[in-house]
Amino acid sequence: MTVLAHEIMTPSIKAVPQSWTMDRLARFLTDNEITGSPVTDESGEIIGIATLKDIAEFRWNAKRSESSDKLTAEEHQEARRLRMVLFEEMGKVPVEVRDIMTPIVLSVDETTPVRDIANIMMKEHLHRIFVTKDARITGIVTTYDMLKIVSNEELTQRCASNS
């Protein structure tokens, strides 16, 4: 018997509003010991996903300097000064979740075999995928949930018998 999405999914999803600040999102993820969360609009519809990776990439890109070897020493110094002024001003404006989230939301049906989910996650380089029933999100399958198959002898045998 094939193992299906609804058997391994995490049914409780902790979503965050798109208007939250990036710092509030970071605290939320840390407090809940999770690495990502769905993002909702004002009506509660899921419109994307925001992860610790999104936060790290935003901060890394903000501090990264694109320098050119064609600049003189004075031009390098002036470019550095301008970057510092910009970063200081950017720090005064809170970055919102909507600014860093990934707007693409992939999902599978509750009856999708876990082998298909694994293939999608591998192909798309995903750590989580939403699970739906009648176009409504009912859960999430994460890489942690996929490990349940390996750690549960009965699920492992069921997967192996369908190879």
Q: What is the pLDDT of residues 31-75, one digit of tens each?
A: 999 889 999 999 888 899 999 999 888 877 655 555 555 778 888
CA distance 107 to 146: 15
Give me the chain's average pLDDT, please.
85
Q: In 3D, which of 55, 63, 68 has the Cα closest to residue 90?
A: 63
The pLDDT of residue 66 is 55
Other C-beta atoms within 10 Å of 98: how many? Answer: 16
Q: How confident is the model at residue 104 (pLDDT cuts 50, 70, 90)?
A: confident
CA distance 28 to 113: 31
Q: In 3D, which of 1, 2, 5 has the Cα closest to residue 133?
A: 5
Q: 3-state class of 42 per DSSP?
A: coil
pTM for the model stands at 0.70
Assigned CATH topology for domain 5-57+95-161: CBS-domain (3.10.580)
